[in-house]
Every structure is written in structure tokens, then in C-alpha cells.
């Protein structure tokens, strides 16, 4: 078998070269995936008949997309890490069975989520702040219905992306996502402006792109290289499922924790916005929710790059750990942390020096001065610890690739649940709406203290002679 088919080039090529080869396509895939919702929001914001009401509605619905992504990454990232370790240890039967089982889990979870969303749509929208005013609720309800219809395709496409990367085809994984996003970008302005389809049009454009990505992913599964699927691959194996889902549990918890944090932020935004002298007025009540949604979307782009760099390392780390090459895993960790810090610094410069330009992309010219003023403050305060945020994110994903589920989960839950929920609730008590903005950087600082301890411990372990085994 040649090197490409066996993937043993992962223990031969220089770690920096491998990181570039795998991380760049992964970054592009994740950024493009993030752009699905962001592109909708840009066109919605610039449509005068939707504006900040549509923007706020988009923010309300977004957490439910993240919930779907949580199931996708648990299955996809877990399978990716497990397959990479199996191939490195020459356990090919476990590799192909895990992929087959993952496919079945994707289909089942996507359909189940769609059903739950449709049944409990009104309660879900209310919980995430959709009742801030009637105009926002109407927009959110329409957008949510059509996005829900596409959930099974979204889950399948996102889960297969890391699995395709683990098979040694990061460029195809990237292409499948990019082509879906291009479809969304083309259809969005057509449906929203000349056809005046509003929130429905934005959602249908998104779903069309997700369907294309799912179809391309399905095609690849029939033409895999290092992993060959057969009928045996699709026989459910509970012990195998448990093993690869445990490796993906961190990714799942990270996304779910993010949703819990979003719920806290959006509810506190609605609560303390209503107490504000300006945003307590009916005509401005949707502005804080719309603005924070935009700020979080920019953060999502930056953090997608951060996650892409780390997730791109998963097949490389898993294979090297499986092959007993901890020295290469340690070198790669150094490259990753350096790249994460640089990425965070670049994002920080953008939000601190160009906040007006950023908010201008989201229809600021159609809104009141209060919209721009609050947006500028939000960008500069909410995202002032971007360097620590990217390093924290890269660290817990890398630990996941090492099979260190506990440490990885500890950092993730600390950031998103303990800090991400408690601080948005506590700080506004003392600082009002501004307290909500302070909560984000405060959480990153406190989380980094824990991450730093684990980083030092991990370096020491990777410098030891014995193999690191999945926990």
C-alpha cells in the first residue's frame, strides 16, 4: 500500500508542513460554515424592510443552529480522532466500522432534532429572546421554520467534514463546504431583494447550500481512500460508538455550553436592555440583541480560524500518538499555540481599530445613531481578550486530539458554562448592560489561568518516553 493510502506520511513529513496542509482547508471549511448564518445576517441587515428586526431574529435562531452543530461535531470530530488513531495503529477494521456507525448516528440525530424543533418552536424562540418585540418574533418564527427543515442535511454535512479529513482528503472536505456556501451567497441576495422573500428567502438559500454540501459528502463516502466502507461498516456496535463518541464529547459539550452561554447573554440582554434609558423604548428595544448577535458572529469567524488550526491537527496528532511519536505531537503543540496567539492578536487589532467599518457591513447606515454607538462599544469591550480566547480554544481541541477528554472538557466547560453563564448574570447586577460586555473578557482571563496549568502539564507528559493513551 502506498503512503497516501496508508496515511503513514503523517509520521514522516515535517509537522509544520502537515499543519499547513491540514489546517488551511479545515480553517476555510469552518469559516465558510460560519459564513452561512453571517451572510444571511448581512443581507437581512441591508434590506430596509427587515433591518435590525431581522438581525435580532437571526440572533434568536442562531443558538439552535449551534445545537445541531454540537451533535455533528461530537460524531464527526470523535470519529475523526478515533479513525486517525486506528489508522496509525493499523486497526483498519475499527476505522471503517466507526465511519459506518457515525453515518447512521448523523441521520438519526438530524431527523430527531428537526422534529423537536418543529414541535417546540414557540417555546424555543421565546427562551432565546424572540419576544423582545412583535416584529422580531414574526421574523424569527419564519426564519426558524425553514432553517429547521434543513437541519438533517446540516448535521450530516458538518459531521462528514472531519471524517473526510481523517481519510486524508482535507481539500475535498473544504470544497464541499465552500461550494455549499457559494450557493447560499448567490441565492441570498436574489431571494431577499428582487424576490422580496424576506426571512424565508434567507433561510431557504442557507438550506440549499447545506443540501449541496451533504450530497458532495455522500459522494466522497462512496470513494474513500484509507477507509473502505462495506455492509459490515453499518452494523451498530455499541462499544465502538461509545469509544469514538467519548473522543467527540468535548466538542459536543463545547457547543452545548456555548448555547447555554448564549441563552444567558440573550436573556440578560433583553432584561437589562429594557431597563436602559434608550433601549427601554419600544422602537430601540431590539438593538442590543441585534448588535450582540453581530459581535458574536465576528467572534465566530475569528474563533472558526482558531478551531480550524487546532482541528486540522487532530488527524496528525492522533496518527502520531497511535504510532508512538509523542515528540512530533509536542512540536506540533508549540506551532499551534504560537499560531493561535498570532491569530488572536490580529483579530484584536481589527475589533479595536475598525469597529465602525465592521458594523457598517451590517446595515448601520439604515439604523439610528444608538445602533452604531452601542456596536462600537460592544466590539471594543466584548472582544478585548481575543488573544486569550483563541489560545484557550486551541488548547482544549488539541487535548481532545491527544485523547485527554477530561482536561479538554474541563477547559471548555469552565469557559462556556461556569464563566459564560455566571458572569453575564452577575456583572449586569452592578454595571447594567455594560456588565454584559465585561463578562466575556473576564471569562477568557479566568479560563486562561486554568489552561496555562494544563498546557505546562501536557508539555511535560509529551516529553516523557511512555505513550500517551486515550483516557
pLDDT, one tens digit per residue, over 255-291 is: 787 788 888 888 898 889 888 888 888 888 888 888 8
pLDDT at 163: 87
Q: Per the domain annotation, does 270 fall within a domain?
A: yes
Relative orientation angle of helices 386-401 and 238-273, to the nearest 10 degrees: 160
Q: Per the domain annotation, does 3 fall within a domain?
A: no
- For the chain, the domain total comes to 1
pLDDT at 464: 63
Q: Are 421 and 443 in contact (CB under 8 A)?
A: no
Q: Per the domain annotation, does 9 fall within a domain?
A: no
pLDDT at 401: 77
Distance of alpha carbon 192 from alpha carbon 40, whole angstroms: 9
Distance of alpha carbon 426 from alpha carbon 436, whole angstroms: 9
Distance of alpha carbon 117 from alpha carbon 125, whole angstroms: 10
For the stretch 112-166, pLDDT in tens is 999 999 999 999 999 888 888 888 899 999 999 999 999 999 999 999 988 888 7
pLDDT at 202: 92
pTM above 0.85, yes or no: no
Q: Per the domain annotation, does 427 fall within a domain?
A: yes
Which regions in the chain score pLDDT beneath 50? 1-5, 465-471
Q: Which residues contact 337 (CB under 8 A, 6 or more apart)?
A: 391, 394, 395, 455
Q: Per the domain annotation, does 470 fall within a domain?
A: no
Q: Per the domain annotation, does 417 fall within a domain?
A: yes
Range of the domain at 35: 14-462
Q: Per the domain annotation, does 421 fall within a domain?
A: yes
Q: Are 348 and 387 in contact (CB under 8 A)?
A: yes
Q: Are 249 and 74 in contact (CB under 8 A)?
A: yes
Relative orientation angle of helices 433-462 and 386-401, to the nearest 10 degrees: 40
Q: Per the domain annotation, does 5 fall within a domain?
A: no
Q: Hunting for cell 414574526 — which residue is that?
A: 138
Distance of alpha carbon 297 from alpha carbon 256, whole angstroms: 17
pLDDT at 6: 56
pLDDT at 470: 41
pLDDT at 3: 42
Amino acid at each position: 500500500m502506498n503512503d497516501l493510502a496508508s496515511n503513514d506520511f503523517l509520521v514522516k513529513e515535517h509537522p509544520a508542513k502537515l499543519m499547513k496542509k491540514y489546517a488551511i482547508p479545515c480553517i476555510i471549511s469552518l469559516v465558510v460554515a460560519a459564513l452561512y448564518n453571517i451572510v444571511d445576517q448581512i443581507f437581512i441587515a441591508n434590506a430596509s424592510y427587515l433591518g435590525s428586526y431581522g438581525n435580532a431574529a437571526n440572533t434568536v435562531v442562531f443558538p439552535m443552529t449551534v445545537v445541531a452543530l454540537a451533535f455533528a461535531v461530537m460524531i464527526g470530530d470523535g470519529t475523526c480522532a478515533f479513525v486517525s488513531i486506528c489508522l496509525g495503529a493499523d486497526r483498519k477494521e475499527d476505522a471503517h466500522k466507526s465511519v459506518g456507525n457515525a453515518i447512521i448516528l448523523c441521520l438519526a440525530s438530524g431527523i430527531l432534532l428537526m422534529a423537536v424543533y418543529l414541535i417546540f418552536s414557540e417555546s424555543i424562540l421565546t427562551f432565546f429572546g424572540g419576544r423582545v418585540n412583535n416584529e422580531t418574533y414574526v421574523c424569527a418564527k419564519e426564519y426558524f421554520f425553514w432553517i429547521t427543515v434543513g437541519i438533517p442535511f446540516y448535521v450530516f454535512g458538518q459531521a462528514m467534514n472531519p471524517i473526510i479529513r481523517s481519510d486524508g482528503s482535507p481539500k475535498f472536505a473544504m470544497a464541499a463546504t465552500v461550494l455549499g456556501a457559494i450557493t447560499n451567497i448567490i441565492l441570498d441576495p436574489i431571494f431577499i431583494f428582487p424576490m422580496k422573500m424576506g426571512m424565508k428567502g434567507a433561510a431557504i438559500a442557507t438550506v440549499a447550500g447545506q443540501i449541496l454540501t451533504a450530497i458532495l459528502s455522500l459522494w466522497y463516502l462512496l470513494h474513500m481512500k484509507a477507509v473502505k466502507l462495506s455492509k459490515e461498516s453499518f452494523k451498530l456496535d455499541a462499544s465502538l460508538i461509545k469509544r469514538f463518541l467519548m473522543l467527540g464529547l468535548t466538542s459536543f459539550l463545547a457547543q452545548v455550553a456555548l448555547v447555554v452561554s448564549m441563552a444567558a447573554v440573550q436573556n440578560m440582554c433583553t432584561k437589562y436592555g429594557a431597563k436602559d434609558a434608550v433601549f427601554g423604548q419600544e422602537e430601540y428595544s431590539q438593538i442590543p440583541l441585534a448588535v450582540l448577535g453581530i459581535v458574536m458572529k465576528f467572534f465566530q469567524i475569528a474563533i472558526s480560524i482558531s478551531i480550524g488550526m487546532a482541528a486540522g491537527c487532530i488527524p496528525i496528532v492522533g496518527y502520531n500518538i497511535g504510532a508512538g511519536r509523542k515528540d512530533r505531537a509536542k512540536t506540533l503543540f508549540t506551532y499551534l499555540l504560537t499560531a493561535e496567539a498570532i491569530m488572536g492578536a490580529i483579530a484584536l487589532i481589527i475589533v479595536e481599530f475598525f469597529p465602525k467599518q465592521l458594523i457598517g457591513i451590517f446595515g448601520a447606515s439604515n439604523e439610528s445613531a444608538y445602533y452604531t454607538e452601542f456596536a462600537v462599544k460592544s466590539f471594543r469591550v466584548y472582544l478585548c481578550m481575543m488573544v486569550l480566547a483563541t489560545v484557550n480554544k486551541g488548547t482544549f481541541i488539541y487535548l481532545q486530539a491527544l485523547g485527554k477528554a477530561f482536561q479538554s472538557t474541563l477547559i471548555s466547560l469552565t469557559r462556556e458554562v461556569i464563566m459564560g453563564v455566571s458572569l453575564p448574570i452577575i456583572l449586569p447586577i452592578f454595571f447594567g448592560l455594560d456588565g454584559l460586555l465585561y463578562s466575556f473578557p473576564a471569562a477568557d482571563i479566568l479560563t486562561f489561568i486554568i489552561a496555562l496549568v494544563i498546557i505546562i502539564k501536557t508539555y511535560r507528559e509529551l516529553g516523557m518516553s511512555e505513550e500517551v493513551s486515550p483516557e
